[in-house]
Structure 1
Amino acid sequence: MPRTESHSTREDELAFELDPEDVPVNKLTSFHGRLQHFLHRSSDEMTDSPAARTTAISQPTIKLEDTETKDQAIQDRAEPIKPSPKRRKAVQATSTTISRPPTRSTPPSPNKRKRNTPAPTPIPLGPSATESLLRDTIPPNLILLLVGVNPGIMTGISGYAYAHPSNLFWKLLHSSGITSMRHKPSDTYKLPSLYSVGNTNIVERPTRDASMLSRAEMNAGVPVLEAKIAAQRPEAVCLVGKGIWEAVWRVRRGRGIRKEEFRYGWQEGENMGVCEGWAGAPVFVATTTSGLAAGMKLVEKEAIWAELGEWVVRKRQERGFVPQIMKQEDI
C-alpha cells in the first residue's frame, strides 16, 4: 500500500501539471530533464489495477529528441520569434525598396534663375577662308615672276608673302643671289623696285598647307596664271613647287606627269603666257619652300635655287639694272 500511495501522489502531481487550463510550459525544464520517465495518459486510464500498471510499465519509453521537438513546437506557437536586429534592418530595407514608387525626373522650374555665364570673347580670325590680304606684285616687264601655290594662313592674315617663320622662301632668295640680303616678309611689295622680282599664286584661297587644295582648284588656276603672264610679260617665270607644274601639265596634256618626265630647273619648250606677238616666258620649276615639306635637304634645295639665281643676276647685268641697297631705316 505505501507503494500505491506513492504512485497516487505522483499521478496527482502529474495531473496538476497537465491541467489544460494552464499555460503550456516546457516540460523538459519543469521535470528537471527527466521527462522520459513519465508516461502521458488520460485520467480514465490512470487506475490502480496491476494490469494497468503493467501496461504502463511495458509501453516504450519516449525519446528525448521527440519530446524536445514537441516542446519546441509548443513554445514556438506560444511565443513569436523575434528577428535579430540585422534581419530586422534587412527586412525594412527590402520593404522600403519594394514599396517605394518609381521616381520621375521633374523638369526644372521655369521660375528658377539661370546663371549669368559670360559669353566667350570672340577671337579675331582675320580674313575668311576664301579671302586673303596678299596682293599680286606684277608690274610690266619684270625679270622674274615668282609663282607660289597659295597663301598660307599667316600670309593671308598679314598680307605678306611666305610669312610663316618656318618657310625658307626669304632664306633661299638670299642664298641664291636673287636678293642682296635676307629680307623680312614685310618687304614683299618692295621686291619689284629693288630687284625687278614680282610675286603671285596659282590659287588665291589661303589654307594651312597646299595639300588641302583640290586638283580642280589647281587646274582652274592655270588659265588665270597664263593670262597674268601674257598681260605683264615677265622675262621668266619661276614655279615655287612641283605641284604647280603638275597642274600646268595636266591642263596642257589632259593627264598627269610621269615620274620620268619631271625634273627641276628649266623646262625646255614649255613657255607660259604665249600670245599673239609674244613667245611667252620660259619656265623654271624650283623646290617648294614650305617648312612642312621635308622630302629634300636644304643643301639640295639651295643647289636648285642657285641655278635660278645665276640666271637672274646675269639678266640684271644685261639690262644694266643695279639692285638697290635698302637704307638702314627701311630695314
Structure 2
Amino acid sequence: MPPSTAIQPKLEEDETALETVEDVPVNKITSFNGRLQQFLHNGTEAHETPSSSRTTLSQRRINTTKAEYERQAEPIISSPRRKRTVPPTAPTTTATHRRTTRSKSTLIATSPSPSKRRRSTATPQIPPTPPIASPSATESLLRDTIPPNLILLLVGVNPGIMTGVTGYAYAHPSNLFWKLLYSSGITSIRHIPADTYKLPALYRVGNTNIVERPTRDASMLSRAEMDAGVPVLEAKVAAQRPEVVCLVGKSIWEAVWRVRHGRGIRKEEFRYGWQSETENMGRGDDWAGAPVFVATTTSGLAAGMKPAEKEAVWAELGSWVVKRRQERGLNSVVVKEI
C-alpha cells in the first residue's frame, strides 16, 4: 500500500478524535487551556465518550454498593459470633415465666397473713397444773412442842422453807441447830430434824417460833410481824411455864425489848446469855416467869460470829440444862430411852 494512502485514514481518524475531545466543555483556567482534559480523555478505554464513561462509573458504583450491602448484611444476620456479643432481647420464655409465677405463689402461700402470724406467735393456752400439796406462804407444817413441865423452851424466829414443807424444826442442812444442841450437851447425841417431836420426851426440851410464817430468810420478816408475835409468845410461856426460855437469835430479843420498853435496845444494853430477872417471860400474879437466855442464831446464812464463838454461848446454856436435868433425876431416863 502506498504510504500516502495509509497515512490519510489515520489523520482523519485523529482529527475525528480531536474534534470529539474538543466538544467536551473545558475550564481553560484549571485545565491548562484544555490540554489536561485532553490528556485525561486520551487515557480512557477504547475512545469512550464522556457520557458513556459517566454512566458506566455511576452504574458501577451503584452495583458495587448493592453488592457490598448484600455481602455485609448477610454475615451480620447469620454470624454466630455476632449473636454471642449482642445481648439477648427475646422475651421471657413460658417455662421461666411459669417458674417465676410458681415461686411467687409459693412465697405468697407460705407467708402468713398478719392475723395468722399473731395467732402463731401467741403463747398456747395450757391448762394450769394443779399445785403439789405443800404449805402456802402463810402456812407451815411445823407444830409447837410445848408440853407442861419443860426444862427448856427454844424459841426460833420463824420456819424456813424446808422446815415449813417437812414440818421438822431447822430442817435445812446448813443450819447449825442440831450440831449446837449436841456440842453444848443439851442432847446426848446429834439428832436429825426428824427427831423434832422426840425432844420433849427425851430431854424435856420444847420448840416454838415468834412468827409462824415460813420464809427463805428471817430478814424477809417485817418489824411489825416480829412485834406482833411477842404477846403471843408471852401467852404460850405463861400457859405452859417452862423453867427457861431460850431465844435463838438476837432479833427475837430486840423485838421483845421494843414491845416491852417502847424503843429499840441500845448496843450497850444488849448481851448474849442470861438476862436480868426483871426481863422474865410469862410473868403472872402467882408466877415470877421464866428466865430468858439469848443465844446466837443457828442459821448458816448468818456470818456475824465465828463457829467457836457460837459454841461458847451455847455451851453456857448447855451446862445449866445438864445440871438441871441431873437435879430432876432425868438423866437415867433419857439414856434408857435413847
Instruction: Calculate the TM-score normalised by the size of structure 2.
Output: 0.64
Secondary structure of 1:324 counterpart: helix
Q: Paired residue for 2:172, among 164, 168, 186?
A: 164
Q: 3-state SS of the aligned residue for 2:259?
A: helix
How far off is 1:124 after superposition?
A: 2.7
Where does residue 206 of structure 2 map in the other structure? Answer: 198
Quote the residue 1:325 is aligned against.
335
The residue that corresponds to 1:173 in the other structure is: 181
Match of 1:106 among 99, 106, 114: 114
Aligned ranges 1:26-45 → 2 under 5 Å: none
* In the alignment, structure 1 residue 235 sits paired with structure 2 residue 248: no
- Write the distance in 2 (CA, Å) between the matches of 1:267 and 1:246: 13
The answer to whether the 8 Å contact 2:171/2:193 transfers is yes
CA separation in 1, counterparts of 2:215 and 2:119? 48
Cα distance per residue 1:295-318 (max 9 Å; x no partner): 111000000000000000111111
Alpha-carbon separation, structure 2, partners of 1:256 and 1:110: 58
**Structure 1 residues 320 and 207 mapped into 2: Cα distance closer, same or farther (>3 Å)?**
same
Cα pair distance change 1:221/1:111, threshold 3 Å: closer
Change over 3 Å in CA distance of 1:111–1:293 after alignment to 2: closer
Is 1:256 aligned to 2:260, yes or no? no
Query: In the TM superposition, what is the alpha-carbon distance from 1:320 to its structure 2 partner?
Result: 1.0
User: Which residue does the alignment assign to 2:296?
Assistant: 287
Distance 2:204 2:119 in 1: 72
Partner residue in 2 for 1:213? 221
Letter in 2 for 1:324: V
Match of 1:141 among 149, 153, 156: 149
Q: Is the 8 A contact 2:140 2:212 kept in 1?
A: yes
Match of 1:101 in 2: none
User: What corresponds to 1:27 in structure 2?
Assistant: none
Partner SS for 1:182 = coil
Aligned pair in 2 of structure 1 residues 109, 304: CA closer, same or farther (>3 Å)?
closer
- 2:216 counterpart letter in structure 1: R
CA distance 1:225–1:117, change in 2 (3 Å): closer
Deviations 1:13-52 (A, max 9, x none): xxxxxxxxxxxxxxxxxxxxxxxxxxxxxxxxxxxxxxxx
Matched position secondary structure for 1:207 = coil
Q: Equivalent residue of 2:212, what SS?
A: coil
Give the drift of 1:106. Answer: 2.7
1:310 aligns with 2:319: yes
Query: Over residues 262-294 of structure 1, what are the superposed CA-to-partner deviations in whole Å (9 max), with x where a residue is unaligned?
Result: 000000121000012000000000000000001
Q: What TM-score results when the alignment is normalised by the length of structure 1?
A: 0.65
Cα 1:285/1:108, change in 2 over 3 Å: same
CA contact (8 A) 2:144 2:208 kept: yes
Amino acid at match of 1:173: L
Query: Residues of 1 paired with 2:227 and 2:243: CA distance?
Result: 24
**Distance across 2 between alignment mates of 1:146 and 1:115:** 50
Supply the AA of the counterpart residue of 1:161: A
Gapped regions of structure 1 (runs ≥ 5): 6-103
Q: Distance in 2 between matches of 1:111 and 1:259?
A: 63
Q: SS at the partner of 1:137?
A: coil
TM-superposed deviation, 1:239: 0.1
Q: Matched residue pairs, number?
A: 235
Note the C-alpha offset of 1:116: 7.5
What runs of 5+ residues in structure 2 fail to find an aligned partner? 1-26, 32-36, 38-111
Structure 1: how far apart are the matches of 2:206 and 2:280?
18
Measured on the aligned residues, the alpha-carbon RMSD in Å equals 3.2
Task: Report the CA distance between 1:120 and its aligned residue.
Answer: 7.3
Change (3 A) 1:111 1:286: closer
SS at match of 2:211: coil
Which structure: larger Rg?
2
Q: Deviation per CA, 1:72-115: give whole Å up to 9, x if none.
A: xxxxxxxxxxxxxxxxxxxxxxxxxxxxxxxx963129999x99
